[in-house]
Amino acid sequence: MENQKIGTKCVQAGYRPGNGEPREIPIIQSTTFKYDTSEDMGKLFDLEASGYFYTRLQNPTNDYVAAKITALEGGTAGMLTSSGQAANFFALFNICETGSHIVSSSSIYGGTFNLLSVTMKKMGIDVTFVSPDCTEAELENAFQENTRAVFGESIANPALTVLDIEKFAKAAHAHGVPLIVDNTFPTPVHCRPIEWGADIVTHSTTKYMDGHGVAVGGALVDSGKFDWSAHAEKFPGLTTPDDSYHGIVYTEKFGQGAAFITKCTSQLMRDLGCIQSPQNAFYLNLGLESLHVRMKRHAENGLAVAEFLQEQPQVKHVSFPGLQGDPYYALAQKYMPNGTCGVVSFEVEGGRNAAEAFMGRLKLAAIETHVADARTCCLNPATSTHRQMTDEQLAAAGIPAGLIRISCGLEDKEDLIADLAQAL
Ligand SMILES: *Cc1c(COP(=O)(O)O)cnc(C)c1O
């Protein structure tokens, strides 16, 4: 299994049915699990034996799907969460507490930006944002004695910047902390951050992994490479006794490859309960079975649309990391040489009104606050998600009023281009 190629893993990894068992992953639609003796059940509660007792913590359907995503990313353990937001929160909160500090790329998803700068701040966890393009010296300056994690997105939503994973991993490791990479946009089909030094990978599975716009979900994968014990004073939650489990020490009991995910399941899932429903995990797996086929098409359509837009006089500017001449082209070639994703952003001449009129004329591309779906969709932040902001405020935030984000679906590229051409 280890040596199989990514497409084979998309189809086959995770669930391995035995003789006469269902071919497709069974949906274990049960909140609870039955035991013959209290002693059997007690062992599960003490983390002495592995097994299922309550779906808020773990469910077999979810575990099959998490095992597939873990294999795709090349990790040692993984878990599903109810959303991408929950995945990023769990990844950080599993190793941070009041008084901790995080270094994060400033080019990240708006929801994650709020999570870090508003909600986690209220919990007493501080963040320093750095440009993904910062120099090594600038990155170095962002660290504090209480820094516990470094965070970034492999391809950022919506800015489409590419993270220099090796640069960020090197700085994190020099300070004895892990690098967490949100790999939602390229997916492991196009980028495997662990191969470049990332320690924990997160996903909003809501996007390409599902790929059909049917289920909100998230995932976390541990590379098993970060040596928590070597930096034990920084990560007492993993390296000292857990009083809520009779004093077990996660790194000692479960080893470097499983400590992080076991703690995340047995503490955070137990206490915060952001479990994905088994039904949604089943839908997610259907998406994963064709992920390698779809990502190729999304990226090809994205490139074709970006190349077309770049030639149009009504278009001021195009951003797409797979496009030659894009500021992130070289990083994209290094970290995702087989393709990036299907999301392209571009600015039309004439600002907010021109963008709104252009989008109104589109026939195939629907107006949605979503990306990474089989059907092409687009959004003008100035008239939707960022509506409250003036043109001046938008410009200061790096979002021109005429900016449109288009998520290229799986249609034929000729039809997508014809739709854009008639609307321009
Ligand atoms: C959408 C998204 C999230 C949030 O995921 P949800 O599933 O909507 O909670 C996090 N990171 C990135 C890069 C995203 O695109």
Give, for all 424 residues of the chain, the pLDDT tens digit.
568 999 999 999 999 999 999 999 999 999 999 999 999 888 888 888 888 989 999 999 999 999 999 999 999 999 999 999 999 999 999 999 999 999 999 999 989 999 999 999 999 999 999 999 999 999 999 999 999 999 999 999 988 999 999 999 999 999 999 999 999 999 999 999 999 999 999 999 999 999 999 999 999 999 999 999 999 999 999 999 999 888 999 999 999 999 999 999 999 999 999 999 999 999 999 999 999 999 999 999 999 999 999 999 999 999 999 999 999 999 999 999 999 999 999 999 999 899 999 999 999 999 988 899 999 999 998 888 888 878 888 777 778 889 999 999 999 999 999 999 999 9
What sign does the CA torsion over 321, 327, 331, 334 have? positive
Assess contact for 162 and 321: CB atoms under 8 A: yes
pLDDT value for 136:
96
Count Cβ neighbours within 10 Å for each residue of 105-127 and write b for 16 or more, e otherwise: bbbbbeebeebbeeebeeeebbb
- Does residue 69 lie within any of the structural domains? yes
Residue 86 CA, closest ligand 1 atom number: 9
Distance 22 CA to ligand 1 centre (A): 32
Query: How far out from the chain centre does Cα 118 lie?
Result: 20
Residues 87 and 235 in one domain: yes
* φ, ψ for residue 183, nearest 5 deg: -105, 30
Residue 85 CA, closest ligand 1 atom number: 9
Of 254, 103, 105, which is closest to residue 173 (Cα–Cα)? 103
Residues 270 and 232 in one domain: yes
pLDDT value for 118:
95
Residue 371 CA, closest ligand 1 atom number: 15
Assess contact for 73 and 180: CB atoms under 8 A: no
Work out how many domains the chain is built from and give that number: 2
Tell which of 224, 253, 287 closes a domain.
Answer: 287
Residues 196 and 311 in one domain: no
For residue 48, give its domain range. 7-287
Residue at 181: amino acid letter: V
Other beta carbons within 10 Å of 235? 25
The model carries a pTM of 0.96
pLDDT value for 333:
98
Residues 66 and 157 in one domain: yes
- Does residue 115 lie within any of the structural domains? yes
Say whether 200 sits in a helix, a strand or coil: strand
pLDDT value for 397:
72
Ligand 1 site-directed mutation target among 157, 274, 340, most atoms within 8 Å of CB: 157
Cα–Cα distance between 350 and 363 in angstroms, integer? 21
pLDDT value for 393:
81
Distance 156 CA to ligand 1 centre (A): 10
In this structure, the strands spanning 179-182 and 147-153 are: parallel
Q: Is 206 in the pocket of ligand 1 (CB under 6 A)?
A: yes
Q: Is 302 in the pocket of ligand 1 (CB under 6 A)?
A: no
Assess contact for 215 and 280: CB atoms under 8 A: yes
Residue 184 CA, closest ligand 1 atom number: 13
Q: Is 107 in the pocket of ligand 1 (CB under 6 A)?
A: no
Residues 216 and 328 in one domain: no
Tell which of 287, 305, 320 closes a domain.
Answer: 287
- Does residue 393 lie within any of the structural domains? yes
Residues 215 and 320 in one domain: no
CATH number of 143's domain: 3.40.640.10
Residues 272 and 328 in one domain: no
Cα–Cα distance between 240 and 263 in angstroms, integer? 12
Distance 212 CA to ligand 1 centre (A): 15
Say whether 147 sits in a helix, a strand or coil: strand
- Does residue 396 lie within any of the structural domains? yes
- Does residue 413 lie within any of the structural domains? yes
Assess contact for 101 and 148: CB atoms under 8 A: yes
Q: Is 182 in the pocket of ligand 1 (CB under 6 A)?
A: yes
- Does residue 2 lie within any of the structural domains? no
Tell which of 235, 255, 287 closes a domain.
Answer: 287
Distance 183 CA to ligand 1 centre (A): 10
pLDDT value for 257:
98
Residue 205 CA, closest ligand 1 atom number: 7
Residues 27 and 105 in one domain: yes
Residues 208 and 275 in one domain: yes
- Does residue 372 lie within any of the structural domains? yes
Residues 274 and 418 in one domain: no
Ligand 1 site-directed mutation target among 107, 206, 214, 370, most atoms within 8 Å of CB: 206
